[in-house]
A and B are shown apart, each in its own frame.
Chain A
Amino acid sequence: MAVITVLHFDFWNWETTSVVLGFLPTGLAWQAGISLAAAAGWALLMNVAWPSRVEEWAARPSALSDDAAEDPS
């Protein structure tokens, strides 16, 4: 995702007036590609880095005391 974020800053497309597919400005096409890449990147991340213990952690009983929100000072 860090690579996608860096590629988002596409300064080389700043002055480009060319088009892709006959109608899409190159800069816009690049950024639309960034959105697609972001979705693909997150899909990949979900499979390789999913926090599998979160649900088990959330199901544990709370051990916060009733006065946890009280400012002891």
Chain B
Amino acid sequence: MAVLLPAAEAASRTPLLVVGFYLFLLISLGVFSSRLFRGTSADFFVAERSIGPFLLLMSVFGTTMTAFALVGSTGKAWELGNGVYGLMASASGIVHSAVFFLIGIKLWAIGKRHGFRTQVQYFRSRFQSNLLGYLLFPILVALVVPYLLIGLLGAGAVMRGVTVGMFPETFAGTTLPSGRVMFEGAIPPWITGLVVCAVVLFYIFAGGLRSAAWANAFQTIVFMITGVIAFVLISSKLGGMDAATQAVIDNSSDHMTRARIGKLQFVTYMFVPLSVGMFPHLFQHWLTAKKASTFKLTTVAHPLFIGIVWVPCILIGIWAAGAGIMPPGGNPNALLPKIVQTLLQDPYLTGLLTAGILAAIMSSLDSQFVCLGTMFTHDIVMHAAGEDRFSDKAQVMLGRGFIVFVVGVTYLLTFFPPPKIFDLAVWCFSGFAALFPLVFASIYWRRTTRAGAIASVLAMVVTWGTLFYEGLIKPTLAGEEMEGDFLVAGMMPVTLIFAASTAALVLVSLMTKPPSDEHVEQFMVES
């Protein structure tokens, strides 16, 4: 999430103190939650399957919502109008809960009965295929890593924007080819990345996924409250909610409509939130649930939480358009921090908003770090060496080692970000969404075969790769400016990828020998 603010007035260090206080609270929570850690591998990787309804709701919501929920949604509404809520948020409210109910509960039951801790373990066992496991592992990792990078780079960009002028004698800033100096005296992204990695590592190293769940709950509360506070104060500064909306009608009536969104795009965007069905980090959170009924609160409250976070941000975005507020450098993701800085001019609020954005980023990062560490431990090392070779304690140590490894590698990768990294998010979602037919069929269609599952994954890789090249790589290499989402005949690319993976799964399954009833029965959850 690139938030680039130009060098402006010398700022006080109060926002930094607020952020520092927030990080201190997070570390304190890490110390507290680590005391709950029971020292077992089951506790480290899946919190002993003991998480209750409230913690599951908060950890799942915090993990699902990235910084995009705050800054991205505001910027997108400024670009496209109020239809962004229907396009991205209310669709997610419906689809996410459906996935929690139809997929999450069943996978929880299967995971509990057979002792699975990762998606790859499940698919490998369900389809009796090591090949499928080795095929899925790099794909899942490759789709998660850009998220991690976006989170760390976004955190760095936010802090750099907010801290401009705070340390003029320490940090010289960036000199542009024109000779203009940007971000003078601002904390450089490598320091923010280091601090964020260190804080997240601190609390997940000690307590694994249990600590991540606690931290997510806290961070979710922080970013939800931040959004609401920003909304109330900003609407007040704009003369009240009625006046702010009237300004949109008068000055930018397009933002009151969905004129900037295609109808086919709107319909086919519904495929994108299916991605939650294949997020490996969400799979792991589902396994932490104490009982099946733990999912009830998450399923019901998720659409409400989405509304609480997104509706205020969408309104702020269109109000900014009505008030003629422009984001710095034309970058929509910089809009919300700009509004807070210029409209509210309160260092405490700037600090609070920054903490809220960091909370949204870190609440996704922690689960992804733990998840990748768990995958390396179970799907590669323990699977290759044999599970019996490692004691329970050794498994925890191995998990910790891999988490440190994943955090370290991700941090190093932030020094070499691929071009258009921030455009990768929707492509990652599309990749996960196109794997949804696989997880759905594995639970509900007995006739799904190993060959069908592998064909589905390969079809996803080929179609995703082709469209990714056409939609992002090719225009980037040609130096073309991309405006708006890449669409195929007005549809989101995920539609075609999803159709290809579904067709491959069904056709190849029907053409190949079905698995034995005895084996499949082990995965057919009774309702």
Contacts and interface: CB of A to CB of B under 8 A. Distances in A.
A15 to B, nearest CB: 5
Interface in A43-73: 43, 45-46, 50-64, 68-72
Interface stretch (B31-39, B81-89, B136-144, B457-465): B81-89
A60 B487 CA distance: 47
Contact of B94 (A5, A11, A50, A71): A5
Contacts of B124: 69
B182 interface: no
Contacts of B391: none
A28 B85 contact: yes
A27 B86 contact: yes
Interface string A5-16: 100111101111
A19 B307 contact: no
A71 B93 CA distance: 39
Nearest to B94: A38
A33 to B, nearest CB: 9
Contacts of A50: 293, 296
Interface in B109-139: 109-110, 112-115, 121, 124-125, 128-131, 133
B242 A22 contact: yes
B90 A31 contact: yes
Interface in B468-527: 519, 522, 525-527
Nearest to B263: A11
Interface string B13-55: 0000000000000000000000000000000000000000000
Contacts of A57: 109, 113, 525-526
A13 B125 contact: no
Most buried by B among A25, A36, A70: A25
Contact of B90 (A24, A35, A72): A35
B259 A24 contact: no
A42 B299 contact: yes
A13 B128 CA distance: 49
B97 interface: yes
Contact of B318 (A25, A42, A63, A64): A25
B311 interface: yes
Contacts of A17: 249, 253, 256-257
Interface in B333-390: 383
B355 to A, nearest CB: 26
A64 B130 contact: no
Contacts of A13: 258
Interface string B140-177: 00000000000000000000000000000000000000
B307 A28 contact: no
Contacts of A16: 256-257
A71 B97 contact: no
B311 A28 contact: yes
Contact of B109 (A8, A28, A54, A69): A54
A38 to B, nearest CB: 4
Interface of A: 1, 4-5, 8-11, 13-17, 19, 22-25, 27-28, 30-32, 34-36, 38-39, 42-43, 45-46, 50-64, 68-72
8 contacts: A1-B98, A4-B94, A15-B259, A16-B256, A23-B241, A36-B304, A39-B97, A58-B108
A-B interface, 3 closest residue pairs, ranked by CB to CB distance from nearest? A23-B241, A51-B527, A58-B109
